[in-house]
Structure 1
């Protein structure tokens, strides 16, 4: 498994990224899947989705340093969790990469995206005019992907339906770089929270954002 990045964020929290180079058969060989999982992935309508699902599970096993069966599930909000391990988890994938975060004591969220010009067409769907004015340029593709990954990571961190990118998350002005951190104000049911989201580029063509907070 070609792990290209691992970061120990603190003693209980780890982020890993790896490039998907294995075949489906190679990924299957590294996992012990139950009948219900095989039935679930049999519904996938394209091969890339299967590679993504298998690779995140195999990366989870690698991060947990175990060859035992790892049972994962989805809660009523669609958030993944471990049934037989005491960890919070977050999974993401985009084209040739997969990313996983685990933590024993924090909620986590991670998102990885292939950077494409198409983000310019949808920027007003997830960014307010005020947020766009706070960027170095509203046409800065990298800055827009930092914001998208940040909001997606926050959504996964929260793990509940109803949180909207444009209505409930505000990215404070920042200067985009190859890596760094940004501040976001998030309107949650129990009040407003300020979160720090870290970001960095992967392989020059991908952006990754992550958050870990209690």
Structure 2
């Protein structure tokens, strides 16, 4: 069973990464496809993400998942709060019984460096430094992406609304101006992957 990484955050919140090695038929026998996904690899990612929800919490009712206008998946009764992300051959998910959550997984690759002016303020870009630039900029992107998913209501300017304040070896302090909230994003670098998540 290709569980690449698993973490019990607290009694009510768990996350995991699934390395996708199965065929589509494996997932289709276990989870429904909620929307038309035409690209085969994206369809596999979609199915793996939903499979992971029930792997983390066996009573997760994925057949009741709905998609908001903002494209955020949710359960109408808030029985669980959850977030899903995909990158390359990996799917990541975080599930909580009682707290809003967001997760993002990124494969470290050069493309993110070209996007820096689109998602970082000038002050944030100055924090990238000379060493491990690719890893640092990927972490900053992943941090903002997981906060965006945590918020879930769309209309977020990554440069203006998600302000990165301090980066430590396993957390990023973030101020989210749309709700005037201080958030602590946790992260891990696992091989060529950056995983970032927020609970609160």
Instruction: Provide TM-score, normalisation by structure 1.
Output: 0.86
The corresponding residue for 1:212 is 199
User: SS of the counterpart of 2:84?
Assistant: strand
Contact persistence 1:150–1:209 (CA under 8 A) = yes
User: SS of the counterpart of 2:150?
Assistant: helix
The corresponding residue for 2:90 is 97
Query: Within the alignment, does 1:182 sit opposite 2:182 as a pair?
Result: no
The corresponding residue for 1:196 is 184
Cα deviation, residue 66, structure 1: 4.2
The corresponding residue for 2:71 is 78
Q: Bigger radius of gyration, 1 or 2?
A: 1
User: SS of the counterpart of 1:76?
Assistant: coil
Contact persistence 1:24–1:51 (CA under 8 A) = yes
Q: Distance in 2 between matches of 1:197 and 1:69?
A: 26
List alignment gaps of at least 5 residues for structure 1. Answer: none
Query: Within the alignment, does 1:149 sit opposite 2:136 as a pair?
Result: no
Q: Distance in 2 between matches of 1:139 and 1:11?
A: 35
Higher mean C-alpha displacement, 13-22 vs 127-136? 127-136
**Moved runs in structure 1, 4+ residues, more than 4 A?**
66-69
Instruction: Provide TM-score, normalisation by structure 2.
Output: 0.92
The corresponding residue for 2:26 is 26
Q: Distance in 2 between matches of 1:185 and 1:73?
A: 29
**CA-atom RMSD in angstroms:** 2.0
Q: 1:127 to 1:66 in 2, by over 3 A?
A: same
Contact persistence 1:111–1:210 (CA under 8 A) = yes
